[in-house]
Structure 1
Amino acid sequence: MDAVADAIAAIDNDEAPDRETLKAAVRELLKALADNAPGHSVEVRVPPYGAVQCVEGPRHRRGTPPNVIECAPLVFLELGTGRLGFAAAVAAGKVAASGQRADLSEHLPLAGPHGEDLDGNA
C-alpha cells in the first residue's frame, strides 16, 4: 500500500498529503475493503475519491442503498490504518453511518498504522 504509506508519512511530518497521493491512498484502502469484506449490502463513500459496495448481506439494486457510510478522505485514511476506531469516529461525528449494517468495526483496519500491509509488507 505505497500511497497509503506516503500519505501517512506526510501526516506524521505534520504535512497534508498532496491531492494525488490522498486520492490513491483512499482508492487503495477502498479496494482492500471491497476485497476483505465482499458483498453489496453497505455502500462506503469517500467523496470525492470513490465509493465501494461491500459486506455480505442483502443486495441493493436501485436508488439510495439502505446502509451507507460516508466520511472525508483523511478520516478514511485514519480508519483504514487503525489510527481511529470506527465507533469513536461515528461518536465524534467524523463518520455518517445509516442503516442496520452500517458498521465497519469488524473489517478495520485494512493496513498498519504506517500504511504497511497487515502482514508487515510496505
Structure 2
Amino acid sequence: MPPRARARRYDPAKTRAAVTAQLQHVQDAVRELDEERLGAPTRVGGRSVRELIAHLPAAADEDDVLVTRCVELVVHSDDLAAATGLAVAYDRQALATAVRSLADGLAAKAPGGSVELRIPPFAVVQCVEGPRHTRGTPPNVVETDPLTWVRLATGRIGWAEALEAGEVTASGERADLAAHLPVLAGSCGDTASRQV
C-alpha cells in the first residue's frame, strides 16, 4: 500500500485574492459581449453563454468553498473563451489553485505511485496503483500545460484527443489516464444561479 499523501493546504488569503482577480477578469470580458454572443452555444451541456455566465460564482467566504469556486471560475472562464473567442485573462494564483485542486482530485480518485502527473509550473502528483517509483526518472510520466489539464480533468477534452493534438505527453505502460478522467464530471459549477 502506498504511503498516504499529505493533504495539500491552500492559503485562504491567496485563494480569496485569486477568486476576486479571476472574477474581475471574467467581468471585464463579459462587458464586451453583444446579444448575439450572449446567445451563442457553449460546450457545457447545451447552455448559452448567457446561461454559463449566470452560473459563475459571485462570492464566497469559506476556504473549501473558495477553492471550489476558484476551480469553477477558471473552468468557466475557459468555457467562455471557447464559446466567444474572447481572450479571458487568467489570474496566476487562480489558475494554480484550479490546477492543484484538480490534480489532487486525480490523486484521490486513482491513488498510487506508479504514474507521475506533471503540470508545470503548478503541480506534480503521483497516482495510479502499481509499482511505486522512488528514484530517478519515473517510468510512467504524464505532462501537460495548466489549461489542458483543466480541460482534461473536467471532461472538456478527451484523453485521446489531447494526445493526438500533442497537448499531453504520456510515456510508460501505465501512463494512460483515460480510465481516470474526467476528475469532475458534469458541467462543473451547477450551483445557485448568480449574475456576474
Return the TM-score normalized by structure 2: 0.57
Pick the aligned partner of 1:71 from 99, 120, 144: 144
Pick the aligned partner of 2:134 from 61, 66, 72: 61
> Relative contact order (alpha carbons < 8 A, sep ≥ 6): 1 or 2 greater?
1
**1:23-50 C-alpha deviation (Å, 9 max, x unpaired):** 0000110110010000000000000001
State the 1:91 CA deviation: 1.1
Residue of structure 2 in register with 1:25 after alignment:
98
Amino acid at match of 1:37: A
Following the alignment from structure 1 to structure 2, what is the Cα–Cα distance between the partners of residues 17 and 114? 20
Residue of structure 2 in register with 1:89 after alignment:
162
**1:55-102 C-alpha deviation (Å, 9 max, x unpaired):** 000111100100000000000000000011011111110001000000
Query: Runs of at least 4 residues of structure 1 off by over 2 A?
Result: 112-116
Larger Rg: 2
Amino acid at match of 2:113: H
Following the alignment from structure 1 to structure 2, what is the Cα–Cα distance between the partners of residues 112 and 2? 16
1:103 correspondence with 2:176: yes
SS at match of 1:33: helix
Following the alignment from structure 2 to structure 1, what is the Cα–Cα distance between the partners of residues 97 and 74? 9
Following the alignment from structure 2 to structure 1, what is the Cα–Cα distance between the partners of residues 186 and 177? 17
Pick the aligned partner of 2:78 from 5, 8, 11: 11
1:37 correspondence with 2:104: no
For structure 2, the 5+ residue unaligned runs are: 1-67, 82-87
Return the TM-score normalized by structure 1: 0.90
The structure whose residues are more often helix, as a share, is 2
Amino acid at match of 2:176: D
State the 1:17 CA deviation: 2.3
Amino acid at match of 2:96: K
Moved more, 11-20 or 65-74: 11-20
Following the alignment from structure 1 to structure 2, what is the Cα–Cα distance between the partners of residues 45 and 4? 18
